[in-house]
Amino acid sequence: MMAFDASTEPALCQAAQVAVVDALVEQGWYVGQGVINPALCQALHRELLHMAEHDALEEAGIGRGQQHHLRKDIRGDAIHWLDRESEAQRHYLNAMGELQQSLNQALFLGLFEYEAHFAHYPAGAFYQRHLDSFRGRANRVISTVGYLNPNWPTDGGGEMVIYHPDAPDQEVARVTPEAGTFACFLSETIPHEVLPTHRSRASIAGWFRRNASLGGVLDPAR
């Protein structure tokens, strides 16, 4: 197995950091291939597969707190929130911390924290078109998705479709969930969906957030 060495190589390719900022300003979304270090992808993928095989994932739902419901007709993935328990997770989260700094310096977004979960879509699963920031999630500002599957076949399905913010039926990008690919977009305005996947699909979905309170109560991450 390749080992990721954080002392000699970056977790996210350096050019991507600049490209993400430019693309978010110009069009509200970014997609890059070969952005996440391959050895790091492999370690994260193994960790997720291990959890999937040992029933360590929870079925993903819709909404938050009391409004949280399982809706397999809307989304079919199973998740595990990153908690820095492995070296690979720490490397990924550290890289997102650096990206957060770049975004704050360039865009004055005041991003405060980052939350992310592993997502495993079994064959047949999908996630219908949606926005990531909705009532109760209003403090999500920028969404990120890192893909972990090596050698994704052209007929594998499971692409993420990005739609135009002002014309939600107009497709602007179709993202193959190939290991190393990284996507980033404005959570409040960019509609997107995951098409039905034909094989097991692994990714990390995450969100940069502003600190916020709901009804006067501080709203923690997740």
Ligand X SMILES: O=C(O)CCC(=O)C(=O)O
Residue whose CB is nearest to Fe ion in the complex, by number: 132
Contact 219, 140 (CB under 8 A): no
Structure-token pair, residue 194: 């995951």
For Fe ion, the closer CB: 35 or 184:
184
Among 16, 99, 194, 202, binds ligand X (CB under 6 A): 194
The site partner of 160 among Fe ion, ligand X, none (C-beta below 5 to 8 Å per kind) is ligand X
For ligand X, the closer CB: 67 or 105:
67
For ligand X, the closer CB: 91 or 137:
137
Give the shortest CB-51-to-Fe ion separation in angstroms: 20
Q: How many residues does the chain have?
A: 222
Question: Should residue 35 be labelled a site residue for ligand X when binding is judged by CB under 6 A?
Answer: no
For ligand X, the closer CB: 41 or 194:
194
Among 145, 173, 184, 190, binds ligand X (CB under 6 A): 145
Contact 35, 183 (CB under 8 A): no
Structure-token pair, residue 209: 């957030």
Give the shortest CB-205-to-ligand X separation in angstroms: 4
Contacts of 196 (CB under 8 A, 6+ apart): 124, 125, 126, 157, 158
CB atoms within 10 A of CB 82: 22
Question: Should residue 127 be labelled a site residue for ligand X when binding is judged by CB under 6 A?
Answer: yes
Question: Should residue 162 be labelled a site residue for ligand X when binding is judged by CB under 6 A?
Answer: no
Residues 139, 177: Cα–Cα separation, whole Å: 26
Backbone angles phi, psi at 34, to 5 degrees: 65, 35
The site partner of 118 among ligand X, Fe ion, none (C-beta below 5 to 8 Å per kind) is none
Q: CA 73 from chain center: how many Å?
A: 21
Phi-psi region of 36 (alpha: psi -120 to 50; beta: other; left: phi over 0): beta
For ligand X, the closer CB: 6 or 62:
62
For ligand X, the closer CB: 89 or 203:
203
* β-bridge partners, 171: 163
The site partner of 114 among ligand X, Fe ion, none (C-beta below 5 to 8 Å per kind) is none
Give the shortest CB-143-to-Fe ion separation in angstroms: 6
Give the shortest CB-132-to-Fe ion separation in angstroms: 4
Residues 157, 111: Cα–Cα separation, whole Å: 33
Binding footprint of ligand X on the chain (CB under 6 A): 119, 127, 132, 145, 160, 192, 194, 203, 205
